[in-house]
């Protein structure tokens, strides 16, 4: 106490300080180090480390912004990485000496991150090299396994601010996507074959090989064409055959079935013509069609690297937890947890399995599971369900059920998660295609019969049959949908709306009901409207309150700190800090006692009733009550307008919340009808609500949610849209991800998706014109290779141009600003 | 005319060479990441740490 008396309370200075490392305004006490200002110890430590290793060039790169290391880090966090079974699963390669690991680092964000991560070998010589893949946010590290352990490696990059994200998914099975390369091989080979076959077919186009002296040359060309088309037919086009075959086995027709049929017929006819020397075949058109279709598919399926749409609970859960065995701490992979084990859960750690609380008290934040905004207090002996996050001190728990048997994970055993949405309803192209194929096949058969039976000319009949299949090949249809969807995907991406694939865009265009989740979706997490009720606080009091609130990890304290960001805290005059869970915090500021917490804690005589749906934080200075802060959940400002636009356009809107019905009166006018507001919904109830809408009212439902508690509903809905304020952050399995501040443009996104469907239909009409033109030649048996060779690329290119231009115009119309 | 045979074989060989180069580059991962290399080339390999900006 004596020391405290001597310290003069420093003047709260209101000069803005910017952290030299992370570039943020210093909200807390400024740390001076090496003549630079830092916002926290973490940042100065990173600077020190970089400076020591001569890596300050980091700060020279334009736009460099360091990352403040995670304060929740504790030594030993990564010890589980050294367990042989985990190391083995994470490593890409090892020969006992050199090992290579590919780590996901979601925090990298700029070019200096790339530079720093690729200079890791200067921080520790055991690291041989690092290569960053920025779009995927991955860093591949090659290191000497004899000199540095995997856990030390993870620790090192955590210390400089780039905490690696290691999830159960990574550990349970590696999914290295090689499909991208295979596709490129196929495009390359078919393009090569297409060009060369065209070149070798030129003499044929201009009837140059008719003289006898050129005959042998013509034969050589034909044989070369055949040789070049073999890899196209057997390798590049193999996906079409496989997909058609699997569709036929499932007794339905997909878009690949008629394509496969056309390719097969054209190939066999051409083969026949070359063997019997009756003609040059249509290999050029075959290779061209395959080439264009593969490009279309590639364009459409090229999704956003670095965004994952298929996360389930495993991605959220820690890989390992601390288990207490004979009073010693060990890290154990959560798959090895058995009921009866005692685990230790630290502040902000997720509880991975249903457990009984052993510590006297815990404050569990269930916002992740239930959407409940405020943490719930639990006492010793209570059962705590998996998915909650401990806030505050570490707690000890006894595990009741294994992870896979827990209450939360049971949700994933529901039928909804085993069905594949993509196969449930067919795409527009596939539906049009059904009629198209039948008609084309009808025409082809009719032509064949007319030629064979009436004109008695089986040779022409066979030729006319195959050529009509060739010109009417549904590849134009495939091209119109693939290029439109591919272009839309990239246009949406530019506006920070990320549909998972083309199917999602199509389903989005048919939506007629929109269901919102509350917490995190239409409210902003960790952000609140704060209002002070009482006599205006002095500058010094504000500093006091902020300094005190910083010490606590309670969400209300955190929100207060955020609200008081203009005030600079000072830790020096604070002493005797004490936090009573569930009540409040107190400390001495010099000689003054400051209390922050519930009405009871500060001794307020008249705790006002909770009429205003808000949380209250009372403040007392020297046992004198100064007033209270009122914290209300903050709604996204654009919410009301967006819902209004949706309603005007004929969408039904619902609200589905896991939270208490506190804001019912506020939200009723927005959603129009009280029956459209549902509160206190459990995850399964949300799922069933969507199911009822779909089945009894035949609605196409768009579910907008953010947390694991919405996972079931997102999955069940026609389109599950996850809202995230940081797209590299973790969102549940969904069909699309949108950035929080872009949610206002949802009506525009739906309209653009609708326009996309119109564009596909229009471009299909264009390709139909080409088809009619080509068919007239084919039916009359006069389709020469040269006409086919001109018609096919011209129609493909027109379609590609048309879809690209119109979809860009549509995007400009809907997403103007 | 026999010159044509030679020329065709030569042209095909050149084309196959390019195809091979393409396949090699895909296999080496040149198409896996189309962003990072564009940034990497602008960063100095041996940036001196002594010049700390103000």
| pLDDT (tens digit per residue) in A140-168 | 889 988 888 888 888 888 888 788 887 76
* A254 shares a domain with A231: yes
Question: Would you list which residues of chain B are within 8 Å, Cβ to Cβ, of chain A?
Answer: 1, 4-5, 8, 11-12, 15-16, 18-19, 22-23, 26-27, 31-36, 39-40, 42-44, 47-53
Chain A residue closest in CA terms to B28: A181
Residue A235: predicted pLDDT: 93
pLDDT band at A205 (very low <50, low <70, confident <90, very high): confident
* A183 shares a domain with A298: yes
Please list every residue in chain A whose beta carbon sits closer than 8 Å to the beta carbon of residue B12.
196, 224
Q: Is residue B21 part of a domain?
A: yes
Interface-testing mutation among A132, A182, A223, with chain B (most B C-beta atoms within 10 A): A132
Closest to A134 (Cβ–Cβ): which among B35, B47, B49?
B35
List C-alpha distances in Å: A487 to A150, A203, A288: 42, 38, 21
Domain that holds residue A378: 318-351+353-405
pLDDT band at B17 (very low <50, low <70, confident <90, very high): very high
Residue B19 has pLDDT above 50, yes or no: yes
Domain that holds residue B20: 2-30
Please list every residue in chain A whose beta carbon sits closer than 8 Å to the beta carbon of residue B49.
50-51, 53-57
Residue A571 has pLDDT above 70, yes or no: no
What are the start-end ranges of the E strands in A256-386?
A: 320-325, 328-333, 342-345, 355-357, 361-365, 376-379, 383-384
* A737 shares a domain with A802: no
Highest mean pLDDT (candidates A456-460, A608-612, A754-758, A785-789)? A754-758
Q: Is residue A716 part of a domain?
A: yes
Residue A124 has pLDDT above 70, yes or no: yes
Q: Is residue B26 part of a domain?
A: yes
Q: Cα separation of A758 and A746, whole Å?
A: 19
Q: Between vectors from CA A379 to CA A373 and to CA A380, what angle results, nearest 5°?
A: 140
The arithmetic mean of pLDDT across residues A360-384, rounded, is 75
Cβ(A388)–Cβ(A364) below 8 Å:
yes
Helix, strand and coil content of chain B, in percent to the nearest 5, comes to: 55, 0, 45
Q: Is residue B38 part of a domain?
A: no
Among A635, A662, A696, the domain-final residue is A635
* A282 shares a domain with A221: yes
**Chain centre to alpha carbon of residue A534:** 45
Question: Which range has the worst mean pLDDT, A173-177, A540-544, A580-584, A668-672?
Answer: A173-177
* A502 shares a domain with A465: no
pLDDT digits (tens, 9 = 90+) for A679-706: 878 778 888 888 888 888 888 899 988 7
| Whole-number average pLDDT of chain A | 78
Q: What is the ipTM of this complex?
A: 0.84
The arithmetic mean of pLDDT across residues A504-529, rounded, is 80
Percent of chain A whose predicted confidence (pLDDT) is above 90: 6
Residue A417: predicted pLDDT: 67
Among residues A435, A448, A447, A440, the alpha carbon closest in space to that of A469 is found at: A440
* A797 shares a domain with A658: no
pLDDT digits (tens, 9 = 90+) for A66-111: 777 666 666 677 877 888 878 887 887 888 788 888 888 877 777 7
CB atoms within 10 A of CB B10: 10
Cβ(A430)–Cβ(A477) below 8 Å:
no
Closest to B53 (Cβ–Cβ): which among A59, A134, A214?
A59
For chain B, what is the domain count?
Answer: 1
Interchain contact, A133 vs B42, CB within 8 Å: no
* A271 shares a domain with A237: yes
Q: Cα separation of A235 and A241, whole Å?
A: 10
Please list every residue in chain B whose beta carbon sits closer than 8 Å to the beta carbon of residue A44.
none
Q: Is residue A107 part of a domain?
A: no
Chain A residue closest in CA terms to B9: A224
Q: Between vectors from CA A118 to CA A112 and to CA A123, what angle results, nearest 5°?
A: 100
Greatest C-alpha distance within chain A = 117
Crossing angle of the two packed helices A256-275 and A283-301, in degrees rounded to 10: 160
* A572 shares a domain with A547: yes
Residue A242: predicted pLDDT: 92
Closest to A114 (Cβ–Cβ): which among B15, B19, B36?
B36
For chain A, what is the domain count?
Answer: 4
Q: Is residue B41 part of a domain?
A: no
Q: What is the least distance, in Å, from the CA of A256 to any CA of chain B?
A: 26
Closest to A115 (Cβ–Cβ): which among B5, B27, B43?
B43
Q: Is residue B20 part of a domain?
A: yes
Q: What is the least distance, in Å, from the CA of A796 to any CA of chain B?
A: 24
Cβ(A391)–Cβ(A552) below 8 Å:
no
pLDDT digits (tens, 9 = 90+) for A131-142: 888 877 888 889
* A480 shares a domain with A608: no
Residue B16 has pLDDT above 90, yes or no: yes
Among residues A391, A508, A409, the alpha carbon closest in space to that of A708 is found at: A409
Length reported for chain A: 817
What are the start-end ranges of the E strands in A326-413?
A: 328-333, 342-345, 355-357, 361-365, 376-379, 383-384, 389-390, 395-399
CATH assignment of the domain containing A607 = 3.40.1110.10
Among A716, A751, A786, the domain-final residue is A751
Cβ(A130)–Cβ(A148) below 8 Å:
no
Cβ(A493)–Cβ(A729) below 8 Å:
no
Please list every residue in chain B whose beta carbon sits closer than 8 Å to the beta carbon of residue A50.
49
Please list every residue in chain A whose beta carbon sits closer than 8 Å to the beta carbon of residue B31.
180-181, 184
Q: What is the least distance, in Å, from the CA of A115 to any CA of chain B?
A: 7
Please list every residue in chain A whose beta carbon sits closer than 8 Å to the beta carbon of residue B22.
188
Chain A residue closest in CA terms to B5: A217
Q: Cα separation of A73 and A71, whole Å?
A: 5
Q: Is residue B52 part of a domain?
A: no
Q: Between vectors from CA A299 to CA A297 and to CA A303, what angle results, nearest 5°?
A: 105
Please list every residue in chain A whose beta carbon sits closer than 8 Å to the beta carbon of residue B11.
199
- How much is the CA Rg of chain B, to the nearest whole Å? 22
Q: Is residue A607 part of a domain?
A: yes
Q: Is residue B45 part of a domain?
A: no
Please list every residue in chain B whose beta carbon sits closer than 8 Å to the beta carbon of residue A224.
8, 12
Cβ(A725)–Cβ(A699) below 8 Å:
no
Residue A4: predicted pLDDT: 43
DSSP-derived secondary structure for A475-533: HHHHHHHHHHHHHHHHHHHHTTEEESSHHHHHHHHT--EEEEEIIIIIEEEEEEEEEEE
Please list every residue in chain B whose beta carbon sits closer than 8 Å to the beta carbon of residue A183.
none
Among A751, A767, A784, the domain-final residue is A751
DSSP-derived secondary structure for A95-115: -SSEEEEEEE-TT--SHHHHH
Interchain contact, A51 vs B49, CB within 8 Å: yes
Interchain contact, B43 vs A60, CB within 8 Å: no
The arithmetic mean of pLDDT across residues A31-59, rounded, is 76
Q: Is residue B36 part of a domain?
A: no
Chain B residue closest in CA terms to A112: B43
Q: Is residue A553 part of a domain?
A: yes
Chain A residue closest in CA terms to B23: A185
Q: Cα separation of A256 and A293, whole Å?
A: 11
Interchain contact, A57 vs B36, CB within 8 Å: no
Residue A2: predicted pLDDT: 41
Among residues A243, A299, A286, A794, the alpha carbon closest in space to that of A502 is found at: A299
Q: Is residue A708 part of a domain?
A: yes
């Amino acid at each position: 106490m004596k020391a405290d008396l001597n310290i003069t309370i420093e003047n709260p200075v209101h000069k803005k300080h910017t952290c030299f490392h992370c570039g943020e305004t210093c909200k807390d006490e400024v740390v001076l180090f090496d003549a630079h200002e830092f916002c926290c110890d973490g940042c100065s430590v990173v600077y020190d480390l970089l400076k020591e290793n001569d890596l300050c060039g980091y700060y020279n790169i334009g736009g460099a912004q360091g990352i403040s290391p995670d304060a929740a880090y504790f030594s030993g966090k990564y010890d589980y990485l050294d367990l042989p079974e985990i190391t083995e699963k994470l490593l890409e390669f090892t020969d006992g000496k050199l090992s290579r690991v590919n780590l996901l680092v979601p925090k990298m964000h700029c070019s200096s991150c790339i530079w720093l991560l690729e200079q890791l070998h200067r921080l520790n010589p055991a690291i041989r090299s690092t290569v960053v893949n920025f779009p995927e946010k991955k860093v591949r590290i090659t290191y000497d396994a004899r000199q540095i352990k995997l856990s030390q490696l993870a620790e090192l990059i955590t210390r400089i601010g780039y905490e690696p994200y290691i999830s159960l998914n990574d550990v349970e099975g590696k999914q290295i996507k090689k499909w991208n390369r295979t596709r490129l091989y196929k495009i390359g080979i078919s393009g090569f074959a297409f060009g060369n076959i065209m070149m070798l077919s030129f003499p044929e186009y201009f009837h140059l090989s008719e003289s006898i002296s050129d005959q042998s040359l013509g034969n050589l060309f034909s044989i070369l064409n055949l040789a070049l088309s073999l890899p196209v037919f057997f390798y590049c086009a193999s996906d079409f055959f496989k997909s058609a075959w699997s569709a036929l086995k499932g007794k339905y027709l997909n878009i690949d079935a008629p394509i496969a049929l056309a390719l097969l017929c054209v190939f066999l006819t051409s083969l026949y013509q070359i063997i019997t020397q009756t003609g040059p075949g249509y290999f050029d058109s075959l290779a061209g069609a395959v080439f264009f279709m593969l490009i279309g598919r590639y364009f459409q399926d090229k999704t956003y690297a670095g965004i994952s749409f298929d996360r389930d609970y495993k991605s959220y859960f820690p890989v390992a937890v601390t288990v207490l065995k004979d009073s010693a701490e060990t890290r154990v992979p959560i798959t090895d947890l058995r009921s009866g084990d005692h685990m230790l859960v630290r502040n902000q750690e997720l509880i991975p399995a249903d457990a009984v609380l052993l510590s006297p008290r815990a404050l569990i934040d269930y916002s992740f599971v239930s959407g409940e905004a405020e943490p719930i207090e639990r006492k010793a002996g209570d059962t705590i369900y998996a998915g909650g996050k401990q806030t505050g001190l570490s707690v000890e728990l006894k595990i009741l059920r294994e992870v896979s048997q827990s209450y939360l994970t049971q949700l994933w055993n529901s039928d909804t998660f085993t069905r594949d949405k993509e196969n449930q309803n067919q795409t527009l192209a596939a539906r049009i295609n059904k009629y198209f194929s039948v008609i084309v096949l009808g025409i082809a058969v009719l032509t064949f019969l007319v030629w064979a039976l009436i004109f008695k000319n089986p040779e022409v009949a066979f030729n006319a049959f195959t050529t009509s299949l060739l010109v009417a090949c549904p590849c134009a249809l495939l091209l119109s949908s693939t290029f439109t969807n591919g272009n839309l995907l990239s246009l949406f991406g530019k506006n920070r709306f990320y549909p998972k694939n083309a199917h999602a865009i199509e389903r989005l265009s048919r939506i007629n009901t929109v269901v919102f989740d509350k917490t995190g979706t239409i409210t902003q997490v960790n952000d609140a409207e704060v209002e002070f009720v009482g006599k205006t606080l002095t500058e010094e009091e504000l500093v006091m309150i902020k300094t005190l609130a910083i010490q606590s990890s309670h969400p209300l304290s955190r929100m207060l700190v955020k609200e008081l960001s203009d005030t600079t805290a000072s830790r020096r005059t604070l002493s005797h800090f004490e936090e009573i869970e569930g009540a409040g915090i107190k400390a001495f500021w010099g000689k003054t006692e400051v209390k922050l917490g519930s009405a009871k804690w500060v001794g307020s005589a008249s705790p006002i009733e909770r009429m205003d749906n808000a949380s209250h934080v009372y403040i007392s200075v020297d046992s004198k009550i100064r007033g209270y802060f009122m914290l209300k959940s903050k709604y996204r400002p654009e919410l009301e307008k967006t819902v209004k636009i949706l309603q005007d356009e004929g969408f039904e809107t619902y609200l589905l919340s896991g939270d208490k019905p506190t804001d019912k009166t506020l939200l009723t006018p927005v959603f129009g009808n009280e029956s459209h507001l549902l509160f206190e919904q459990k995850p399964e109830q949300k799922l069933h609500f969507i199911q009822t809408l779909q089945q009894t009212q035949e609605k196409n439902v768009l579910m907008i949610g953010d947390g694991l508690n919405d996972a079931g509903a997102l999955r069940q809905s026609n389109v599950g849209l996850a809202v995230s304020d940081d797209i590299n952050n973790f969102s549940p399995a969904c069909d699309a991800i949108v950035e929080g501040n872009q949610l206002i443009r949802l009506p525009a996104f739906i309209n653009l998706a609708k326009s996309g469907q119109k564009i596909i239909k229009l471009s299909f009409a264009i390709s139909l014109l080409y088809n009619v033109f080509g068919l007239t030649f084919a039916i009359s048996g006069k389709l020469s290779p040269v006409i086919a060779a001109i018609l096919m690329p011209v129609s493909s290119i027109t379609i590609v141009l048309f879809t690209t231009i119109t979809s860009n115009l549509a995007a400009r119309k809907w997403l103007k600003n | 005319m026999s010159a044509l045979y030679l020329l065709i074989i030569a042209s095909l060989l050149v084309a196959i060479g390019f195809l091979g180069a393409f396949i090699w580059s895909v296999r080496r991962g040149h198409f896996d990441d189309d962003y990072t290399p564009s940034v990497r080339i602008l960063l100095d390999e041996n940036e001196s740490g002594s010049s700390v900006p103000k």
